[in-house]
């Protein structure tokens, strides 16, 4: 870090802060109470509406891309002179982003349901399961051969996830219903299978097109936003009861009620807008860190925001301290560092005066957060373009 410029330090801090805010703002909205359209005061339980907001945040990256591209062209920049985040091929069909966007839409909605049922810190840690499924799917469909240290990383992640799950089951029952927490945890892990599928699809069909990372994020945001916005209509007429969702009339999603709650509570409004703004800046920061510093640095910074989310959750009494959860986080960190060949193995090889094989930081990386858009906390070492959602 001694050789970092002020701008690079700014990008690193921006990535940690906005990435943390993205999860925390969503959880804050979940835990805030507001009057709905039926006059009942209840918590904001609208994961699909929140996912629409998140994808709108990603869509703003496409708007930013168009503005930047227009600006640099007006200044007479050639394609080779363009900044890394907007440099790329323009010869492609935007619909190549529809399949990964549909995966992202399904995974994000599922994770938001899970987040509503469990702790924000558990949500962030359990996303480490992405390493397991991306590694296995890349072997099955991309023909990758995982190295021994990558398999070791996967085993550590499995062990760490198990500890986090046990921590949730043994936690303070006065704060969360155990059955709800287990359901939420399982939904988050299930979503990582879908996210891993998304990353394999991107690697196989998108990365070869050499599309600008910012543009790719924006197109996936556009397709996710428009598709989910349309799906809100049939969701209004689907009755699911009050098992997980608490919408008036037992609806799967009542976007009208959600808008009422956003209007009636500044806490919900702040959390909802915070999700939209933070994902946009987080995508910018994540892409910039990868291009300005390295992909491995981005991986390490992603793990730092998990720690920030955990500390914040403890400080505002969203949960109580658990030694099991801390142990699970540390084991997950070891697995993440092993899988991505960061810190641990290079450090050992340096001590042994040997030069380890490390993925070149100059190679493009398309990390899809999903998410955090709910960018993956433990990003697998699969070379695709830079998509955080």
Helix (H, G, I), strand (E, B) or coil at 361: coil
Residue 375 clears pLDDT 90, i.e. is over it: no
In the chain, what is the greatest distance between 2 CA atoms, to the nearest angstrom?
69
Q: What is the predicted pLDDT for the residue at 54?
A: 96
pTM of structure = 0.86
Which secondary-structure segment (H or E) carries 343? Answer: none
Residue 368 clears pLDDT 50, i.e. is over it: no
CB distance 109 to 225 below 8 Å: no
Task: Quote the CA–CA distance of 295 and 366 in Å, as a whole number.
Answer: 10
Q: What is the predicted pLDDT for the residue at 174?
A: 58
Going 10 to 86 to 370 to 222, the CA torsion angle's sign is positive
Q: What pLDDT band is residue 84 in, cutting at 50, 70 and 90?
A: confident
Q: Counting beta carbons within 10 angstroms of the beta carbon of residue 190, is it exposed (0 to 12), middle (13 to 18) or buried (19 or more)?
A: middle
Q: What is the 8-class DSSP label of residue 94?
A: G
What's the rounded mean pLDDT across residues 193-209?
86
Report the alpha-carbon angle 287-291-293, nearest 5. Answer: 110
3-state secondary structure 26-80: HHHHHHCEEECCCCCEEECCCHHHHHHHHHHHHHHHHHHHHHHHHHHHHCCCCHH
Q: Counting beta carbons within 10 angstroms of the beta carbon of residue 136, is it exposed (0 to 12), middle (13 to 18) or buried (19 or more)?
A: middle
Residue by residue, DSSP assigns 116-128 as HHS-HHHHHHHTT
Q: At what angle do helices 295-315 and 6-31 cross, to 10 degrees?
A: 40
Residue 27 clears pLDDT 60, i.e. is over it: yes
Helix (H, G, I), strand (E, B) or coil at 278: helix
Q: What is the predicted pLDDT for the residue at 175?
A: 61
What's the rounded mean pLDDT across residues 129-156?
91
* End-to-end Cα separation, the chain, in angstroms: 26
Task: Quote the CA–CA distance of 301 and 290 in Å, as a whole number.
Answer: 11
Task: Quote the CA–CA distance of 180 and 320 in Å, as a whole number.
Answer: 17
Task: Quote the CA–CA distance of 35 and 76 in Å, as a whole number.
Answer: 53
Q: At what angle do helices 266-292 and 47-74 cross, to 10 degrees?
A: 50
Residue 269 clears pLDDT 80, i.e. is over it: yes
Q: What pLDDT band is residue 377 in, cutting at 50, 70 and 90?
A: very low
In tens, the pLDDT along 147-162 reads 999 999 999 999 999 9
In tens, the pLDDT along 205-220 reads 777 788 888 898 999 9
Question: What CA dihedral angle connects 107, 112, 118 and 124, to 10 degrees?
Answer: 60
- Count of beta carbons in the 10 Å neighbourhood of residue 311: 12
Q: What pLDDT band is residue 370 in, cutting at 50, 70 and 90?
A: very low
């Amino acid at each position: 870090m001694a050789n970092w410029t002020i701008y690079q330090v700014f990008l690193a801090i921006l990535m940690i802060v906005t990435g943390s805010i993205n999860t925390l703002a969503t959880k804050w909205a979940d835990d805030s109470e507001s009057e709905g359209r039926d006059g009942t005061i209840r918590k904001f339980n609208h994961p699909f509406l929140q996912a629409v907001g998140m994808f709108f945040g990603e869509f703003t990256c496409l708007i930013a891309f168009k503005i930047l591209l227009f600006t640099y062209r007006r200044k007479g920049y050639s394609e080779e002179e363009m900044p890394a985040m907007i440099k790329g091929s323009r010869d492609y069909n935007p619909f190549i982003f529809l399949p990964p966007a549909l995966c992202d839409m399904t995974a994000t909605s599922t994770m938001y349901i899970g987040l509503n049922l469990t702790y924000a810190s558990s949500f962030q840690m359990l996303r480490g399961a992405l390493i397991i499924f991306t590694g296995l799917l890349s072997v099955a469909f991309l023909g990758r051969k995982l190295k021994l240290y990558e398999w070791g990383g996967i085993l550590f992640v499995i062990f760490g996830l198990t500890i986090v799950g046990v921590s949730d089951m043994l936690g303070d029952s006065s704060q969360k219903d155990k059955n709800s927490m287990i359901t939420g945890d399982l939904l988050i892990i299930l979503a990582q299978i879908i996210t891993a599928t998304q990353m394999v699809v991107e690697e196989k069909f998108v990365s070869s097109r050499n599309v600008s990372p910012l543009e790719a994020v924006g197109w996936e945001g556009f397709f996710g936003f428009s598709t989910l916005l349309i799906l809100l209509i049939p969701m209004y007429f689907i009755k699911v009861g009050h098992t997980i969702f608490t919408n008036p009339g037992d609806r799967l999603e009542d976007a009208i009620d959600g808008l009422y709650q956003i209007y009636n509570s500044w806490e919900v409004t702040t959390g909802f807008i915070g999700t939209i703004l933070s994902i946009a800046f987080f995508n910018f920061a994540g892409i910039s860190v990868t291009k300005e510093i390295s992909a491995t640095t981005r991986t390490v910074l992603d793990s730092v925001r998990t720690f920030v989310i955990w500390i914040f959750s403890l400080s505002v009494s969203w949960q109580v301290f658990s030694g099991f959860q801390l142990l699970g986080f540390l084991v997950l960190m070891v697995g993440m560092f092993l899988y991505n060949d960061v810190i641990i193995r290079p450090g050992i090889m340096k001590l042994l005066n040997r030069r380890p094989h490390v993925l070149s930081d100059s190679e493009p990386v398309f990390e899809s957060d999903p998410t955090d858009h709910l960018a993956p906390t433990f990003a697998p070492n699969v070379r695709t373009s830079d998509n955080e959602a």
